[in-house]
Amino acid sequence: MRAIDTNVVVRLLVADDADQAQAARQIVLGGETFLGVSVVLETEWVLRAGYDFTAPQIVDALRALGGLPGLTMEEPEQVAMALEGLEQGMDFADALHLARSGHCREFVTFDRKLAKRAKGLSRVPVLLL
- How many percent of the chain have pLDDT more than 70? 100
**What crossing angle do the helices spanning 55-66 and 37-45 adopt, rounded to 10°?**
150
Q: What is the pLDDT of residue 119?
A: 84
Q: Residue 35 CB: number of other CB atoms within 10 A? A: 25
- What are the distances in angstroms from CA 90 to CA 35, 44, 87, 96, 99? 22, 13, 7, 10, 12
Confidence of residue 22 (pLDDT cuts 50, 70, 90): very high
How do residues 84-120 score in pLDDT, each as one tens digit?
999 999 999 999 999 999 899 999 999 999 999 888 7
- Give phi and psi for 27, each to the nearest 5: -65, -50
pLDDT greater than 90 at residue 14: yes
Nearest to 47 by CA among 76, 23, 84, 83: 83
Q: Return the C-alpha torsion angle 50, 54, 59, 62, nearest 10.
A: -20
Q: What does the domain layout of the chain look like in residue ranges?
A: 1-74, 75-129
Query: CA–CA separation, 12 vs 67, rounded Å?
Result: 14
Domain 1-74 is in which class? alpha beta
Quote the pTM value: 0.93
Per residue in 32-79, pLDDT tens?
999 999 999 999 999 999 999 999 999 999 999 999 999 999 999 999
